[in-house]
């Protein structure tokens, strides 16, 4: 079950409602910290912290332009998180195979 | 986010299947080491090999038990806080087992819109694929 460790950061990142709002906001267009503060009504400190977590988790990318940094969602990584769910599904398929083998043993 | 739902038709009587999913010793043989007891409110753990970022422990609590019919437990491992429900139904020649793993935190709000395009600025899956392709082309 080692895959439980995979994308831990991404899971933690999207577990927070504030960070989900930020991800939503940057899904289609890049935004600066200032844009996000105005858009979401969160404090600059909170937005900066959330964005940092998203970038570290690989869910957002930072692009410097002049004196500003623009943040955008990284859909490839989001898709990786989705793939993680399918791994969990395969985990259960494997466990149910083991259940069937266990039952076969019980009946004999 | 959609739940994980797996249906299996088993060629074994329901009593036998129920025993396999509601007896701690038997659960240990096909699922994981545990201190499960079939008592509502009982808190227990499933343990497996630790991995980087995961201590190998799933924290659980028995939420619902209907003999030979339903077992529902909370399932918390790492950042996941989910619900596992197993239902049994008698069918000719055996038992139908329906496993449902639901409540993946964080997915509920974001993922359906992102992956299915529902209500997300009218984006369709095709447009999402284009977005992914262009993102890929940018070097991700």
Ordered alpha helix ranges (H), chain A: 8-15, 17-26, 33-40, 44-56, 75-107
- The token duo for B99 is 């496993």
**Closest partner CB to B106 (pick from A1, A14, A28):** A14
Whether A107 and B16 have beta carbons less than 8 Å apart is answered as yes
Residues from chain A that touch B113, judged by Cβ atoms under 8 A, are 24
Which pLDDT band holds residue B137 (cuts at 50, 70, 90)? Answer: low
Provide the whole-model pTM. Answer: 0.61
Q: Is B106 on the interface with A (CB under 8 A)?
A: yes
Task: State the Cα–Cα distance between residues A37 and A27, nearest whole angstrom.
Answer: 16
Tens-place pLDDT, residues A55-100: 988 889 999 999 999 999 887 666 666 666 777 788 899 999 999 9
**Chain B residue with Cα closest to A2:** B51
pLDDT at residue number A33: 96
Instruction: For chain A, positions 11-50, list CB contacts with chain B under 8 A.
Output: 11-17, 20, 23-24, 27-28
What is the interface pTM, i.e. ipTM, of the complex? 0.72
Helix or strand (DSSP H, E) at B18? helix B14-22
Task: State the Cα–Cα distance between residues B111 and B36, nearest whole angstrom.
Answer: 33
Whether A87 and A11 have beta carbons less than 8 Å apart is answered as no
CB contact under 8 A, A98 and B30: yes
Label residue A50 left, alpha or beta by phi (over 0 means left) and psi (-120 to 50 means alpha).
alpha
Whether B33 and B27 have beta carbons less than 8 Å apart is answered as no
Which pLDDT band holds residue A14 (cuts at 50, 70, 90)? Answer: confident
CB atoms within 10 A of CB B133: 11
Task: State the Cα–Cα distance between residues A51 and A46, nearest whole angstrom.
Answer: 9
Task: State the Cα–Cα distance between residues B73 and B84, nearest whole angstrom.
Answer: 5
């Amino acid at each position: 079950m080692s895959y439980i460790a995979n994308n831990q950061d991404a899971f933690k990142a999207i577990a927070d409602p504030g960070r989900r709002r930020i991800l939503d906001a940057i899904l289609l267009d890049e935004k600066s910290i200032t844009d996000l503060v105005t858009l979401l009504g969160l404090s600059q400190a909170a937005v900066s912290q959330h964005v940092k977590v998203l970038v570290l988790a690989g869910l957002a990318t930072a692009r410097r332009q002049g004196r500003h940094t623009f943040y955008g969602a990284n859909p490839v990584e989001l898709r990786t998180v989705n793939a993680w769910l399918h791994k969990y599904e395969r985990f259960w398929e494997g466990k149910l195979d083991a259940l069937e083998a266990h039952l076969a043993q019980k009946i004999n | 986010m959609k739940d994980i739902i797996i249906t299996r038709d088993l060629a074994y009587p329901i009593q036998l299947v129920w025993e396999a999913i509601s007896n701690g010793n038997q659960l240990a043989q096909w699922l994981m080491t545990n201190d499960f007891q079939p008592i509502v409110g009982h808190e227990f753990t499933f343990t497996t090999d630790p991995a980087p970022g995961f201590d190998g422990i799933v924290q659980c609590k028995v939420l619902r038990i209907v003999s030979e019919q339903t077992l529902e437990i909370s399932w918390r491992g790492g950042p996941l806080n989910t619900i596992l429900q197993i239902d049994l139904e008698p069918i000719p020649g055996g038992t139908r087992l329906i496993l449902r793993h639901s409540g993946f935190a964080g997915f509920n709000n974001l993922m359906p819109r992102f992956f299915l395009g529902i209500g997300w600025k009218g984006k369709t899956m095709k447009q999402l694929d284009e977005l992914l392709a262009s993102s890929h082309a940018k070097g991700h």
